[in-house]
Amino acid sequence: MVFKGLSAQYSELLLQRVKTVFEFAEKYQGSYNDSLGPWVCPFYRDFSGYEVNCILGKNPMNMSYMVGYGGKFTSSKLSLPSTDQHPEHIECKGETPYFSSNNSNPNLLTGAVVGGPYVNDTYDDSRADFAHSEPTTYINAPLVGLLAYFKAFSTS
């Protein structure tokens, strides 16, 4: 084992963990959904639906965290101008005038989902609070997956 020369005890612990995982996999071969799905999948499906509802506005703020969705939504204040409006290259620090501005967004990112509320369910739609107001791929990708799942397996 890789760590045997550095720590025989740690190496043995890793080896035992691998054996345990292998034995579990050997014992429960097949699809996760086939063995645990009837109990686990409904929970995740229901919980996922709850999360989607919260993102789309069924929350204490009655506000959608998807830009452009519903009557009250975040404006995603971290957008730069579109290439139609500003075809020139924007350097790395060239976003500063947009970030520091109190003007409305030069480019509304319709459909983007932002980080969302604080733990106490409040939300300050502020450029300076980029952790909550910035749309990112790691926030948007899971939602796209969930919506695709609901679309594929909808009962209506």
- Reply yes or no on whether 84 is catalytic: no
Catalytic pick among 26, 91, 125, 129 = 125
Q: How far is 92 from 132, CA to CA, in rounded Å?
A: 22
Whats the size of the chain, residue-wise?
Answer: 156
**Closest Cα to residue 116, out of 32, 52, 49, 42?**
52
- The alpha carbon dihedral of 139, 141, 144, 150 has a sign of negative
Residue 63: other Cβ atoms inside 10 A: 19
Catalytic pick among 12, 46, 129, 134 = 134
Q: How far is 27 from 16, CA to CA, in rounded Å?
A: 16
- Reply yes or no on whether 125 is catalytic: yes
List the catalytic residues: 125, 134
